[in-house]
Structure 1
Amino acid sequence: MKSLIVLSLFVTFAWAGLMPAMRGRLPFVPRMPLKELEGRITNGELAKPGQFPYQVGLSLVFGDSGAWCGGTLISDRWVLTAAHCTDGADGVTVYLGAIDIKNDKEEGQQRVYVSKENIVVHAEWDFETLNNDISVIKLPVSVVFNDRIQPASLPKKNGQYASYEGEYVWASGWGRDSDAATGVTQFLRYIQVPVVKKSTCNNFFFGMITDKQICISGKDGKSTCNGDSGGPLVYKEGETNYVIGATSFGIALGCEKGWPGVFTRVTAYLDWIEEVSGVVNQ
Structure 2
Amino acid sequence: MKLLLVFALALATTSADLLSRNVVHQRDLTFTPLIDGRITNGKDAVEGQFPYQVGASFSSSKGSWWCGGSIIDNEWVVTAAHCTSGATSVTLYFGGVVRTSPELKVTVSSSNFIQHSSYNSITIRNDISLIKIPSLSFNKNINKVNLPKKASSYSTYAGDVAIASGWGLISDSATAVHSKLQYTPLEVITNAECSAVFGKLLVYSSTICVATPAGTSTCQGDSGGPLVYGNDLIGITSYGSSAGCESGSPAAFTRVTSYLDWISANAGI
- TM value normalised by structure 1: 0.84
- In 2: Cα distance, 1:73 partner to 1:177 partner: 23
Equivalent in 73, 85, 99 of residue 97 of structure 2: 99
- Give the CA deviation at 1:10: 2.5
**Cross-structure match for 2:5:** none
Tell me the residue number matched to 2:34.
12
Amino acid at match of 2:254: T
CA contact (8 A) 1:41 1:228 kept: yes
Distance change >3 Å, CA 9–CA 223, structure 1 → 2: closer
How many pairs were matched up? 246
Match of 1:30 in 2: none
Structure-2 residue corresponding to 1:74: 72
Equivalent of 2:222, from 210, 221, 228? 228
Answer yes or no: is 1:154 the counterpart of 2:147.
yes
Counterpart AA for 1:13: I
Question: One-letter code of the match for 1:261?
Answer: A
Residue 9 and residue 154 in structure 1: after superposition, are their counterparts in 2 closer, same or farther (change >3 A)? closer
State the secondary structure of the residue aligned to 1:93: strand
Structure 1 stretches lacking a partner, 5+ long: 16-39
1:62: how far off?
1.0
Looking at structure 1, the residues matched to 138 and 238 of structure 2 have their Cα atoms a distance apart, in angstroms, of: 27
Superimposed CA distance per residue, residues 101-153 of structure 1 (whole angstroms, 9 cap, x where no aligned partner): 123xx5xx1101111100110000001111000000000x2100000011000
Tell me the distance in 1 between the aligned counterparts of 2:247 and 2:63: 30
1:245 counterpart residue number: 235
Matches within 5 A, 1:14-163: 14=36, 41-63=39-61, 65-103=63-101, 109-139=103-133, 141-163=134-156
Give the distance between the partners of 2:248 and 2:111, measured in 1 at CA. Answer: 39
SS at match of 1:74: strand
Unaligned runs of 5+ in 2: 1-14, 21-28
Contact 1:3–1:206 (CA under 8 A) maintained in structure 2: no
Q: Counterpart in 2 of 1:196?
A: 189
The Cα shift of 1:8 comes to 8.6
Cα distance in 2 for partners of 1:248, 1:259 equals: 14
- Of residues 212, 222, 227 in structure 2, which corresponds to 1:218? 212
1:258 to 245, 248, 252: 248
Cα deviation per residue 1:160-185 (whole Å; 9 max; x = unaligned)?
Answer: 12111100100000111111111211
In 2, Cα distance between equivalents of 1:263 and 1:3: 24
User: Normalized per residue, which structure has more helix?
Assistant: 2
Compute the displacement of 1:65 (Å). 1.6
Structure 1 CA distance for aligned equivalents of residues 228 and 253 of structure 2: 11
Give the fraction of aligned pairs with identical amino acids, expressed as a percent: 45
SS of alignment partner, residue 214 of structure 1: strand
Superposed CA RMSD: 1.5
Q: What's the secondary structure of 1:160's corresponding residue?
A: helix
1:87 Cα deviation after fit: 1.0
Q: Distance in 2 between matches of 1:121 and 1:196?
A: 27
Task: Quote the offset at 1:3 in angstroms.
Answer: 3.8
> Structure 2 length normalisation: TM-score?
0.88
Amino acid at match of 2:138: F
CA displacement at 1:158 relative to structure 2: 2.0
Does the 8 Å CA contact 2:31/2:243 hold for their aligned counterparts? no
Q: Distance in 2 between matches of 1:137 and 1:263?
A: 18
Decide whether the 8 Å contact of 1:221 with 1:258 is kept in 2.
yes
* Cα distance in structure 2, aligned partners of 1:124 and 1:187: 34
Would you say the 8 A contact 2:31–2:198 is kept in 1?
no
What secondary structure sits across from 2:154 in the alignment?
Answer: coil
1:169 to 134, 145, 162: 162
